[in-house]
Amino acid sequence: MAPRTAIRGLLASVSAVLLLGSAACAGDDTAGDAGDTLEVWTRSAPEPAATYKDIFAAFTAKTGITVNYQPVVEFDQQLQARASSKDLPDVFVADAANLGTYQAQGWLQPIEQASVAGATDIADTAWSSVKGLDGKTYGIPFSRQAFATFIRKDWREKVGLPVPKTWADLTALAKAFAEKDPDGNGKKDTYGMLVPGSAQNGYTVFWGASYLWQGGGDIVTDAGGGKYGVAINSDKSVQAVTWIRDQFCTPGVVQPGALTQTTAQTTHFTDGTAGIYFTGPYNFVPYDQKLTKEKYEVVPAPAGPAGGDVLANGENIYLGAGGKLTDAQKKLADFLITPEAQKLGMVSKTQAVVRLPVNKTLDAAQVTGDQRWSVIQKAYTENGHEFPSALQWVPVRNAAAEGLNKVLADCSGDVKAGLDATAQAVSAALQEQGVLA
C-alpha cells in the first residue's frame, strides 16, 4: 500500500474543493486548527460521495480544519491494507455491524461518550449499539435505518387484495402477483417476492434475519459477560425457516434464481417482474425515478407469530487508532451529529447518506417532506432489531448465511438437520473469537 502522502497526491482533485473552501473562513473563532488536515474515508459510490463532500465542506467552513476526503468502494479490503501499513484514516464512516471486527483488530480509538458534544441528543439505544465486548465505546452513531415492505400498489389494487398484515397475507399477495397477471400483459411472467438470497457476503441472512426474528428465532443470543449462545437451530428458528423455505418452494412466490442473486442482480421490482421487496429506505430515490411514487407503497413488514421485528442497521463514525490529530478528529465527529450536518446528509440532490437521523431533535419525515419516513421511523423505534455488533459479526453472519442458503435450496430436505449443521458452523465462528457461551 502506498504511503498516505502518495494517496493524497493521487486524490488531490477530490480534496481541492474542500481545501479551497477553508480559505474563506480565516476569521472563524475556531480556526486555530487551520493547519490540520483530516483524512476521512466512507464506503461510497459517486452519488453518496457528493453528499459527503457537502458535509465536509460545511465542516471546513465552520472550523478551518481541512478534509482530505476519499470515497472508497472496496472499503474493507482497502482499510485492511492501510491497517497493515499502520496508516489508518483519521476518521471513517462505516457499517455499524462491523464495530466488533474493527475493534478486535485494534483499529479504533475508544471514545468517552460524555466528551462528545451533543451526546445527549442521541438516543440511549443508539449509544448501546456502539459498545465493544469490554464495555467501552468505540464509535459514534451517524445514521440508522430499518427495513420495510415495498409493494407495487398498482398490482395490489389490480388483484384486489389489502395491504398485508400477517405472513399469511404476504404469501397470499405473492401468489396473486404470480398467478393473476397484475401487469395485464396476458402472460404469466410476474413473481411475488424479490429476494437477494445469495450466501455471498451474507445476503441470505441480511434478507432473512427479520423473518427469523418475526418467527421467534435468532442466529445467536447474548448470554451476558461478553459471551453468545447459538440459536439458529432452536425450535422457533426451525419453525421460522420452514416458513421461509415454503416461500422459495412455492412456484411464483419468489423470483427464479433468488438464492444465487445479490442486490446488484435483483432489479425485478423496478423491471416490473416482481411485486414485493423487503428492503431499506435507500431505495426511495432510485425507485421514485424508475417507477414514480404512485406505483409503489411502503408499508410495515407483515407480522409473524412472534411479532414484527425488522432489521435495523446503519453507519457509525469511527476514529482511526494511531491518529495524530485527536482534537480535530473529535471536532469532526461532534459536527457530524449536529442538526446542520445531519440535515445536509438527509436532503441531497444525489443520494442521502443519513437515513434516520441519530440526532433525536430531528424528524426525518419533517426534514424531507416525505411521510414514508414515518413508516421507517416507526419500524426502527418499535421493531428495530440490530445485529450484535460487539462481536466480530462478519464470520458469524457468513457461516449462518451459507448454512441457511443450503436449507432454503433443498425443498425436500430436513430443516432441523440442516440448521443443526449450520449451528455447528456458527459455534465454530464464535469459538474462534473466544465468545461462545
Percent of the chain with pLDDT over 70: 92
Of residues 357, 328, 325, the one with CA closest to residue 340: 357
148-177: average pLDDT: 98
Close Cβ partners of 36 (under 8 Å, ≥ 6 residues apart): 65, 66, 325, 328
- The structural domains of the chain, ordered by start, are 37-145+313-385 (3.40.190.10), 148-311+389-433 (3.40.190.10)
Among 67, 63, 60, smallest CA distance to 38 is for 67
What is the rounded average pLDDT of the residues 241-268?
96
The confidence score (pLDDT) of residue 294 equals: 96
Tell me what pLDDT residue 20 has: 32
pLDDT of residue 424: 98
- Tell me the three state secondary structure of residue 85: coil
Predicted pLDDT of residue 350: 83
What is the rounded average pLDDT of the residues 75-104? 95
CB 218 within 8 A of CB 156: no
**Of 91, 103, 99, 70, which Cα lies nearest the Cα of 324?**
91
DSSP 226-278: TEEEE-TTSHHHHHHHHHHHHHHHSTTTB-TTGGG--GGG--HHHHTSEEEEE
Half-sphere exposure (Cβ direction) of 132: Cα atoms closer than 13 Å? 20
* Banded model confidence at residue 399, pLDDT cuts 50, 70, 90: very high
Per-residue pLDDT of 4-19, as tens digits, reads 444 333 333 333 333 3
Query: At residue 238, does pLDDT exceed 60?
Result: yes
Length of the chain: 437
- pTM, entire model: 0.88
Average pLDDT over the chain, rounded to an integer: 91
**pLDDT mean over 266-289:** 94
> Which amino acid, 228?
Y
pLDDT in tens, 193-230: 999 999 999 999 999 999 999 999 999 999 999 999 99
pLDDT value for 35: 56
3-state secondary structure of 351: coil
- Predicted local confidence at residue 351, as pLDDT: 86
Grid cell locating 312:
435495523
Tell me if 237 sits within 8 A of 213, measured CB to CB: no
* 436 has a pLDDT exceeding 70: yes
Please tell me the predicted confidence (pLDDT) of residue 15.
39
C-alpha cell belonging to residue 269:
421490482
